[in-house]
Amino acid sequence: MRELLSRYALEHLIDHTLPGIEAPAAAISAQQPASATTTLYLDLDSPPSSSGISECEAMLLATLPDAAQRSRDAARAAPADEALSERAYWHDSAIEVTNYHQFDPAQGCVVVVNALDLIHHWPMRKTPEYREKKARAKSVLLGRLIAAFPVLQGHVRYVEVPTPRTSLRYTHNTDGSG
């Protein structure tokens, strides 16, 4: 039974008076959820390959991998610390780039950038603090992408930034995890 229950189901859908629920509930509560992501969805005015993004998938690696690991360790030790988390996940760690135009050009010039993240430092949605944080995430992650692909500058038509809170809203996965 433990394998079939998610934390959301346990917290919101399961009758806690069911016989035998204690052991699966304890096991689920003890699990650490996977990381979430902060994502950039980009719509470009030309194929990504014209800006140097020619592969289907690419990683922008951490400049200093050991420092990135220490940064993530510090953020995980204090997950609600906004500055530590932003530094660890947006500035220091590797980010993944997917060129969807390479998969299906008919669907547009779409690029997606994913950065691992945790929900704990994100304010509640629909607040000024949340909107400000999304703007910071957009600035940092788009800045890293443009630094890696400078020709991209001026070719971004639209950007959307889903966050771990967005994932939580739509999936009900614990802490917006992946």
DSSP category for residue 20 = T
Query: pLDDT grade, residue 4 (50/70/90)?
Result: very low
Distance CA 88, CA 91 (A): 6
Asked whether the predicted pLDDT for residue 115 surpasses 60, the reply is yes
Where residue 52 falls (left for φ over 0; alpha for ψ -120 to 50; beta otherwise) is left
Residue 67's pLDDT is: 95
pTM recorded for the entire structure: 0.85
- On average, the pLDDT of the chain sits at 91
Cα 53 to Cα 86: distance, rounded to the nearest angstrom: 25
Give me the pLDDT at residue 96, please.
98
Q: How far apart are CA 161 and CA 139, in angstroms?
A: 10
Confidence at 173, pLDDT banded by 50, 70, 90: confident
Every domain of the chain and the residues it spans: 1-31, 33-176
Question: Residue 1's pLDDT is what?
Answer: 36
Report strand pairing: 95-99 vs 110-117. Answer: antiparallel
Q: pLDDT band for position 3 (50/70/90)? A: very low
- 175 confidence band (pLDDT: 50, 70, 90): confident
What residues form DSSP beta bridges with 98? 57, 112
Pair of tokens at residue 154:
């001026």
Distances (CA, A) of 100 to 1, 56, 152: 38, 7, 16
Between CA 43 and CA 35 the distance in angstroms is 26
pLDDT category, 114, cuts 50, 70, 90?
very high
Task: Evaluate whether 119 touches 36 at the Cβ level (below 8 Å).
Answer: yes
pLDDT tens-place string over residues 77-106 = 999 999 999 999 999 999 999 999 999 999
